[in-house]
RNA sequence: GCAUGGGUGCCCGAGCGGCCAAAGGGGGAGGACUUAAGAUCCUCUGGUAUAGGCCUUCGAGGGUUCGAAUCCCUUCCCAUGCACCA
């Protein structure tokens, strides 16, 4: 039988025994969930880690005899699969290749992926199968997809509930939008411009004449104080538009024809006529902030696509403006053409921002330092980036600017913007941070303001406060990310609740919209508790009254489900809730995990609030970021075939703590595999050593006398303790360090120490090894359940190991004294060999001198004093008359003072017995005869006086 | 830029006031076993030292302390997130 076969065998046995089907009972419950996957591709080892952590924890808690519920569902709502299906339909080569080669979809299945619903069905089935192959202890009766009619009913209730609480409202919001498709577009729908942000710009109104404005857009409204002129590009097609409604109603603006596309999606504007820029050049506009007249100049760098296609010039602080002005001053032809000689001559940079490291005109400095040739030099962008960054982070408004002087640029910007909007001197517009942004249909995208969008009001103060309280009561693992949660909960603005495209549930009161997919995943852990009942019910019966009763115990005449069934369902919910642990990836802290907290805080009473959150790190593959789209992944199903589920689980759990990034390195996975094989062989070896059938449920108890045997049991107990404590807080790596690696190291050491006894079936050794194995199989069961089941059944364990009792440690069997005894032996061997190396090897006898009683007394005194204070130690030692040679006491006290910073005092240990116990071993290790002295009757070189507690003196001859 | 986390030996990574020249793995060197290879086990892997010692090291600089990889300040560098979406 291969390992894969063995694993399959146990998975079937677990399923047949319904081992992981959890129902309410008398035991203490534990409810753990992990963010359900969005199955748009095959499961890879990164996902493997995510779902193995809760399984390990669930199995651990189950062995501690908790009633554990670990369910799973499929988040299939959202837009990505729509795009994927579309690309498959178009036979987009990159997508086809990705799904055939990376996700390994069989050729005959591939065409079927044209249907988005088929995609999620296909991959959620794939996930289900791989999760089973991994041996996850999931209660599959509660499995669902988020487009199941019953689930949609649940979401409908949730939506209405939030709305009735006043937490959903309608509003406006800028989105990436394709005018051709007439739809908002997500990043995955773009051909170009993925990840490009939408920036908020200030549209500043420079008056040309009453009611007519040139409206340049800027990131830096504070620089308006230093404007010297306005730029128009003579080669650009400008138009005049009328604003038909809103705060700017009745105004006419001059913008570029290209800007119209974007701006018309944000303002209610209408084109009046074309505008020839040339006659405008040389005319004046009015600076809204200070009423200064500013001339209009020509510039070729003005991009008609960005903002409004016009620019106001700040030569002191904007490199492009500085160069454009310099170019213009040198271009007599242009000056003549537009007859602007006086104006150009007068135009000089004006300072507005003071920034450390720069003088009065930073733009001039940067341009000159970078040796920028002219306004079309690509280095202009670098110069701009540098200066914008510096002025934003370190700049202050200069002293001559009224009202704002001395304020930090970073803080004052929004204030200036707000003041100007209030005074109708400016307004807001949005534009992309980078271009181009192209929809998959091939058209350029714009920023559109959607004004009938629904929002969840996460900005609501009262709600935020309640959520903060929820957070404060929660366990967060790792604790370090709690500040992140605090930050996000405070920072979250209103969240767009509705979308136009994708799979999902309709907004109940406005069915042109779908509920945004992150918003249908904020309360669904409750659904797991009851999913097994709902599966076979008529969705039409699941009205709001039903959910109100089940979750909130609100009575109603409208409930259509039979009362006794409702009661069962309600009881089950009340049994499992609140959720004990929620697990999810790091990148969901700022949205999903926070939303979950918000929603629970809003809908449920405090006793139903979640109790713990665990956040995951990411996965690396041989040191590189894992990414399906780049093909840099290993599918979990392949890894299972190659190494077996237990090896994959073991590696994923051992290589990093859940919240750290793990790195899948083939070499180390092989190492893990060998380790597990070693463990299987070890079990067999114990039986071989025993020489008869090993029966783990019937280990003959015997009294241990040898130090080394006690030491091994001591180590076992210490490792059980450490592993247990680590697992309680999800430290899978730490737990495995003890439960596998360090325990193995100790066992290796033990076997080495007792190698002479192993052949004689020494009863103490057999007892120790059987006890170790008995505990060890159980210790590893959460991590390698299949291997543990196999060994457990093979060597006489009772029942399934999955429900066996978690090893208990005996605190009395863990003592520092025992630990120190063995290190005394080890250190002595080490010291002897070290000296031997230096002295040469014509050594026949090694004499070991043990520290006399009075030195132990002195050590104790030194320890009581607690500081290397020789005077005080001496005083007490003499007072207690521990020894009559004061000079010798002083010498030793000095040594102890130094030593005690390195070796902690744990009380006296019986060094004579310990060393005599290990005499044979030491002799073997140092290949000489060893004589252990408790006095200095034979001490030709006067070495015995070097003997110190925990460190015997050594003499060789 | 803002927020959070982090910089440790050849590499990955633990440690977070004194048992720290620093766990554990990987890699490397040597040894045992074996006809040999592999597997396994043992030892070593900062420098130096003919009696168990000494010296230097935990991004850089400064400080607190009898004592700092660990605490405080300054500084440099790296990772992640910053939203309409899984």
- What pLDDT digit, counting tens, does each position of A779-809 carry? 999 999 999 999 999 998 889 999 999 999 8
B44 C1' – A835 CA distance, angstroms?
15
Residue A898 predicted with pLDDT over 90 = no
Closest nucleotide C1' to the C-alpha of A846:
B51
Give the per-residue pLDDT at A242: 95
Q: What are phi and psi of A216, to 5 degrees?
A: -65, 150
B61 C1' – A158 CA distance, angstroms?
57
Report pTM: 0.83
More reliable by pLDDT, A295 or A191: A295
Give the per-residue pLDDT at A154: 96
CA A766 vs. chain centroid, Å, equals 45
Closest nucleotide C1' to the C-alpha of A184:
B84
B10 C1' – A323 CA distance, angstroms?
52
Write the pLDDT tens digit of every residue in A900-943.
766 777 788 888 888 888 888 888 877 788 889 888 888 888 88
What are A616's two structure tokens? 């995951």
Residue A662's closest CA among A49, A5, A12, A44?
A49
Q: Is A703 left (phi over 0), alpha (psi -120 to 50) or beta?
A: beta
Q: Which residues pair with A183 in a beta bridge?
A: A178
Closest nucleotide C1' to the C-alpha of A393:
B1
What are A573's two structure tokens? 């919910």
B59 C1' – A661 CA distance, angstroms?
21
**A886-899 helix and A870-879 helix, angle to the nearest 10 degrees:** 130
Residue A158 predicted with pLDDT over 90 = yes
Closest nucleotide C1' to the C-alpha of A670:
B26
Residue with tokens 């904007």: A318
Write the pLDDT tens digit of every residue in A287-329.
998 888 999 999 988 888 888 999 999 998 888 889 889 989 9
| Closest residue (CA to C1') to nucleotide B86 in the complex | A38
Residue A665 predicted with pLDDT over 90 = no
Give the per-residue pLDDT at A630: 76
B75 C1' – A358 CA distance, angstroms?
21
First CA to last CA across chain A, in angstroms?
59
Closest nucleotide C1' to the C-alpha of A843:
B51
Give the per-residue pLDDT at A590: 84
pLDDT range class, residue A195, cuts 50, 70, 90: low
Locate the DSSP E strands across A535-658: 581-585, 612-616, 619-621, 624-625
In whole angstroms, what is the distance from residue A293 CA to residue A286 CA?
5
More reliable by pLDDT, A645 or A440: A645
Closest nucleotide C1' to the C-alpha of A187:
B85
**A379-394 helix and A409-422 helix, angle to the nearest 10 degrees:** 90
Closest nucleotide C1' to the C-alpha of A737:
B24
B83 C1' – A375 CA distance, angstroms?
35
Residue A841 predicted with pLDDT over 70 = no
Write the pLDDT tens digit of every residue in A343-368.
999 999 998 888 766 778 888 888 88
Give the per-residue pLDDT at A639: 92
Give the per-residue pLDDT at A10: 96
Give the per-residue pLDDT at A145: 94
Q: Which residues pair with A274 in a beta bridge?
A: A239
pLDDT range class, residue A269, cuts 50, 70, 90: very high
Give the per-residue pLDDT at A290: 86
Give the per-residue pLDDT at A879: 83
Closest nucleotide C1' to the C-alpha of A496:
B84
Fill in the DSSP letter of residue A265: T
Determine the average pLDDT of the residues in A693-717. Answer: 88
Closest nucleotide C1' to the C-alpha of A618:
B80
Spell out the alpha helix ranges (H) of A702-814: 707-728, 732-736, 743-753, 755-758, 763-780, 785-794
In whole angstroms, what is the distance from residue A281 CA to residue A338 CA?
7
pLDDT range class, residue A188, cuts 50, 70, 90: low
Closest nucleotide C1' to the C-alpha of A390:
B1
Give the per-residue pLDDT at A255: 94
Residue A395 predicted with pLDDT over 80 = no
Rounded alpha-carbon distances, angstroms, from residue A118 to A75, A82, A220:
14, 11, 49
In whole angstroms, what is the distance from residue A380 CA to residue A370 CA?
9
Residue A580 predicted with pLDDT over 90 = yes
* Rounded-to-10 torsion of CA A870, A873, A876, A879: -50
Nucleotides in chain B with any atom closer than 7 Å to protein CB: 1-6, 12-14, 18-21, 23-27, 39-42, 44, 49-52, 66, 80-86
In this predicted structure, which of A375-379, A477-481, A805-809 has the lowest mean pLDDT?
A: A375-379
B48 C1' – A197 CA distance, angstroms?
59
Closest nucleotide C1' to the C-alpha of A198:
B83
Residue A281's closest CA among A212, A229, A211?
A229
Residue with tokens 């837009």: A79
Q: Is A847 left (phi over 0), alpha (psi -120 to 50) or beta?
A: beta
**Percent of chain A surpassing pLDDT 70:** 97
In this predicted structure, which of A67-81, A173-187, A848-862 has the lowest mean pLDDT?
A: A173-187
ipTM for this model: 0.89
B56 C1' – A902 CA distance, angstroms?
19
More reliable by pLDDT, A815 or A273: A273
Half-sphere exposure of A509 (CA within 13 A, CB side): 15
Residue A187 predicted with pLDDT over 70 = no
pLDDT range class, residue A159, cuts 50, 70, 90: very high
B79 C1' – A740 CA distance, angstroms?
30
B62 C1' – A390 CA distance, angstroms?
27
CB atoms within 10 A of CB A912: 14
**Percent of chain A surpassing pLDDT 90:** 41
B77 C1' – A398 CA distance, angstroms?
32
B79 C1' – A659 CA distance, angstroms?
14
B85 C1' – A189 CA distance, angstroms?
12
B21 C1' – A902 CA distance, angstroms?
13
B4 C1' – A458 CA distance, angstroms?
21
Q: Is A146 exposed, middle or buried (0-12, 13-18, 19+ CB in 10 A)?
A: buried
B6 C1' – A530 CA distance, angstroms?
43
Closest nucleotide C1' to the C-alpha of A495:
B84
Helix, strand, coil shares, percent, chain A, to 5: 50, 15, 35
Write the pLDDT tens digit of every residue in A17-55.
999 999 999 999 999 999 999 998 899 888 899 999 999
> Edge-to-edge strand order for the sheet containing A662-664?
A624-625, A619-621, A662-664
Residue A393 predicted with pLDDT over 70 = no
**Sign of the dihedral defined by the CA atoms of residues A462, A463, A464, A470, in that order:** positive
B23 C1' – A919 CA distance, angstroms?
28
B47 C1' – A617 CA distance, angstroms?
39
Closest nucleotide C1' to the C-alpha of A484:
B4
B44 C1' – A770 CA distance, angstroms?
33
| Closest residue (CA to C1') to nucleotide B40 in the complex | A678
pLDDT range class, residue A189, cuts 50, 70, 90: low
Closest nucleotide C1' to the C-alpha of A957:
B51
Determine the average pLDDT of the residues in A103-128. Answer: 93
What are A689's two structure tokens? 């050593």
Residue A597 predicted with pLDDT over 90 = yes
pLDDT range class, residue A194, cuts 50, 70, 90: low
Closest nucleotide C1' to the C-alpha of A518:
B85
pLDDT range class, residue A869, cuts 50, 70, 90: confident
To the nearest whole number, what is the mean pLDDT of chain A? 87
Residue with tokens 């408790």: A934
Q: Are A185 and A194 in contact (CB under 8 A)?
A: no
What are A219's two structure tokens? 């990131």
Closest nucleotide C1' to the C-alpha of A521:
B86
B44 C1' – A753 CA distance, angstroms?
20
In whole angstroms, what is the distance from residue A581 CA to residue A56 CA?
13
Give the per-residue pLDDT at A661: 83
- Give per-residue burial for A852-876: e unless 16+ CB within 10 Å, then b: bebbbbbbbbbeebeebeeebbbeb
B80 C1' – A655 CA distance, angstroms?
20
In this predicted structure, which of A48-57, A369-378, A812-821 has the lowest mean pLDDT?
A: A369-378
Q: How many helices (H) and strands (E) does chain A have?
A: 35, 33
């Amino acid at each position: 039988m291969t390992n894969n076969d063995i694993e399959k065998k146990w998975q079937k046995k677990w399923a047949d025994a319904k081992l992981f089907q959890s129902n309410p009972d008398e035991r203490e419950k534990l409810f753990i969930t992990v963010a359900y996957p969005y199955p748009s591709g095959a499961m890879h080892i990164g996902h493997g880690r995510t779902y193995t952590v809760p399984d390990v924890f669930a199995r651990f808690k189950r062995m501690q005899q908790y009633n554990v519920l670990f369910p799973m569902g499929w988040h299939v709502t959202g837009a990505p699969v729509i795009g994927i299906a579309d690309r498959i339909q178009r036979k987009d080569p990159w997508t086809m290749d990705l799904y055939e080669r990376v996700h390994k979809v069989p050729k005959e299945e591939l065409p079927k992926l044209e249907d988005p619903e088929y995609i999620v069905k296909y991959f959620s089935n794939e996930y289900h199968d791989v999760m089973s192959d991994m041996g996850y202890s999931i209660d599959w009766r509660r499995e669902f997809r988020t487009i199941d009619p019953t689930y949609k009913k649940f979401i409908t209730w949730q939506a209405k509930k939030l709305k009735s609480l006043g937490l959903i409202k309608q509003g406006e919001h800028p989105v990436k939008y394709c005018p051709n498709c007439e739809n908002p577009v997500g990043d995955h729908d773009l051909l170009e411009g993925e990840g490009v942000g939408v920036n908020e710009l200030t549209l500043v109104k420079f008056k040309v004449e009453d009611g007519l404005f040139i409206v340049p857009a800027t990131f830096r409204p504070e620089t308006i104080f230093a404007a010297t002129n306005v730029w128009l590009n003579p080669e650009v097609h400008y138009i005049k538009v009328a604003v038909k409604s809103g705060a700017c109603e009745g105004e006419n603006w001059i913008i570029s024809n290209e800007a119209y596309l974007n701006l018309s999606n944000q303002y209610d504007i209408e084109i009046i006529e074309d505008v020839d820029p040339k006659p405008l050049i040389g005319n004046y506009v009015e600076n809204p902030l200070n009423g200064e007249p500013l001339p209009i100049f020509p510039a070729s760098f003005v991009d008609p696509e960005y903002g409004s296609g016009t620019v106001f010039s700040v030569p002191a602080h904007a490199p492009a403006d500085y160069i454009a002005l310099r170019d213009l001053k040198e271009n007599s032809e242009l000056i003549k053409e537009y007859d602007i000689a006086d104006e150009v001559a007068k135009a000089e940079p004006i300072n507005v921002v003071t920034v450390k490291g720069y003088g009065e005109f930073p733009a001039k400095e940067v341009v000159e330092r970078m040796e920028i040739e002219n306004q079309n030099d690509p280095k202009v962008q670098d110069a701009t980036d540098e200066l914008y960054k510096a002025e934003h982070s370190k700049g202050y408004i200069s002293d001559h600017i009224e009202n704002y002087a001395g304020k930090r640029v970073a803080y004052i910007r929004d204030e200036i913007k707000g003041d100007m909007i209030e005074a109708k001197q400016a307004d807001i517009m949005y534009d992309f941070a980078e271009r181009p942004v192209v929809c998959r249909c091939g058209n350029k995208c714009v920023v559109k303001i959607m004004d009938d969008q629904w929002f969840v009001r996460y900005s609501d103060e009262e709600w935020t406060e309640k959520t903060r309280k929820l957070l404060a009561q929660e366990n967060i693992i790792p604790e370090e990310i709690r500040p992140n949660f605090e930050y996000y909960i405070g920072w979250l603005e209103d969240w767009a609740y509705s979308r136009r495209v994708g799979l999902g549930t309709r907004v109940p009161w406005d069915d042109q919209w779908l509920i945004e997919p992150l918003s249908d995943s904020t309360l669904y852990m409750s659904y797991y508790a009851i999913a097994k009942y709902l599966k076979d019910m008529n969705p039409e019966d699941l009205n709001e009254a039903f959910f109100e009763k089940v979750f909130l115990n609100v009575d109603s005449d409208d409930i259509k489900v039979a009362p006794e069934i409702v009661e069962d369902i309600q009881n089950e919910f009340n049994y499992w809730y609140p959720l004990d642990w929620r697990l999810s990836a790091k990148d969901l802290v700022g949205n999903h995990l926070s939303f979950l907290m918000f929603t629970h805080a809003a809908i449920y009473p405090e006793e139903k609030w979640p109790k713990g959150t665990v956040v995951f790190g990411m996965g690396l593959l041989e040191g590189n970021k894992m990414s399906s789209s780049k093909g840099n992944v290993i599918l979990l199903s392949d890894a299972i075939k190659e190494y077996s589920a237990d090896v994959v689980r073991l590696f994923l759990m051992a290589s990093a703590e859940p919240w750290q990034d793990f790195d899948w390195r083939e070499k180390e996975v092989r190492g893990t595999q060998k380790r597990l094989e070693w463990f299987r062989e070890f079990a067999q070896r114990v039986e071989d050593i025993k020489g008869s059938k090993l029966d783990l449920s019937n280990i003959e108890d015997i009294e241990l006398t040898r130090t080394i045997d006690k030491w091994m049991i001591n180590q076992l107990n210490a490792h059980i303790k450490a592993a247990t404590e680590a697992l309680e807080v999800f430290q899978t790596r730490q737990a495995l360090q003890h439960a596998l690696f360090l325990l193995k190291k100790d066992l290796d050491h033990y076997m080495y120490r007792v190698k002479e006894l192993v052949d004689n079936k020494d009863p103490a050794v057999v007892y120790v090894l059987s006890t170790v194995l008995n505990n060890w199989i159980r210790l590893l069961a959460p991590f390698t359940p299949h291997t543990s089941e196999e060994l457990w059944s093979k060597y006489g364990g009772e029942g399934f190991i999955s429900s066996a009792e978690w090893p208990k440690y005996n605190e009395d069997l863990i003592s520092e004294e025992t630990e120190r005894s063995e290190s005394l032996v080890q250190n002595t061997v080490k010291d002897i060999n070290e000296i031997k190396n230096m002295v040469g090897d014509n050594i026949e006898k090694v004499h070991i001198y043990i520290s006399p009683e009075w030195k132990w007394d002195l050590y104790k005194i030194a320890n009581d004093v607690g500081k290397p204070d020789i005077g005080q130690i001496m005083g007490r030692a003499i007072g207690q008359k521990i020894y009559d040679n004061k000079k010798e006491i002083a010498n030793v006290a000095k040594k102890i003072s130094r030593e005690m910073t390195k070796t902690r005092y744990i009380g006296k240990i019986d060094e004579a017995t310990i060393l005599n116990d290990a005499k044979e071993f030491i002799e073997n290790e140092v290949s000489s005869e060893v004589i252990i002295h408790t006095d200095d009757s034979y001490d030709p070189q006067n070495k015995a006086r070097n003997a110190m507690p925990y460190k015997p003196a050594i003499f060789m001859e």
